[in-house]
Amino acid sequence: MNVTLHLAQDPEADALLGRSPLAALVGMLLDQQIPMEWAFKGPATIAQRLGTDDLDAHEIAAHDPEAFAALLSQKPAVHRYPGSMAKRIQQLCQYLVEHYDGDAEAVWKDAATGKELLKRLAELPGFGKQKAQIFLALLGKQLGVQPTGWREAAGSYGEPKSFRSVADITGPESLAKVRAHKQEMKAAAKAAKAPGR
């Protein structure tokens, strides 16, 4: 895996995401309740604080939980909720060690169908169906991982040029389109909850 991603909008952080399957998974895990760029810059920040140029599932899984939480809490914090996200990242890494010998890419490397890949992603700690579908769309659209039926398995996120999620971000222009789509979705959800509807 060695592609150029533009999710963090930061050359070093994006380079790590493009070459490290674990970094891409961790970025996706962090992508909630904070801006996308902040989430996807997280893996590079964690690697830097660990004194390495990549993330290692075995190392993170074995890391002292309190020390790992402190690492994520250093200013600037990796996430709005650094303690709970530190725990989630460690759970993800422990799962990868137990089920894939610590190799994040093994999650998708030999998946025969999009349906099988979606199932594998949804089994990862911290990945619900929507997050799994978005990551599947990212794999298919930008990382060349395209098992049979991947677009269907990714749902609306798999549609070409849909600008619904991080899977469609290739630079500042597409980031703005995705952000606009997310704001429309929030506004629609808010309007649907409004009294008198």
Least confident among 57-61, 68-72, 103-107, 189-193: 189-193
Least confident of 18-22, 147-151, 190-194: 190-194
- Give residue 2's pLDDT: 65
State both tokens at 189.
Answer: 């959800």
**In this structure, are residues 65 and 73 in contact, taking their beta carbons and an 8 Å threshold?**
no
Those residues with Cβ within 8 angstroms of residue 75's Cβ, 6 or more apart along the chain or in another chain? none
Residue 124 near residue 92 (C-beta atoms within 8 A): yes
Q: CB of 29 within 8 A of CB of 126?
A: yes
Give the model's confidence band at 183: pLDDT under 50 very low, under 70 low, under 90 confident, else very high.
confident
Residue 163 has pLDDT above 70, yes or no: yes
Q: Domains of the chain, with CATH numbers?
A: 1-107 (1.10.340), 113-192 (no CATH)
Write out the two tokens for 149. 């039926």
Region 66-70 average pLDDT: 97
State which H helix or E strand residue 66 sits in: helix 65-73
pLDDT at 95: 98
Average pLDDT for residues 148-165, to the nearest whole number? 92
CB-facing half-sphere around the CA of 146: CA atoms within 13 A? 7
Asked whether the predicted pLDDT for residue 21 surpasses 80, the reply is yes
Do residues 59 and 104 lie in contact, with contact meaning Cβ atoms separated by under 8 Å?
no
User: Which comes out higher in pLDDT, residue 194 or 156?
Assistant: 156
* φ, ψ (nearest 5 deg) of residue 148: -50, 130
- Compute the mean pLDDT over every residue in the chain, rounded to the nearest whole number: 92
Q: How far apart are CA 36 and CA 67, in angstroms?
A: 25
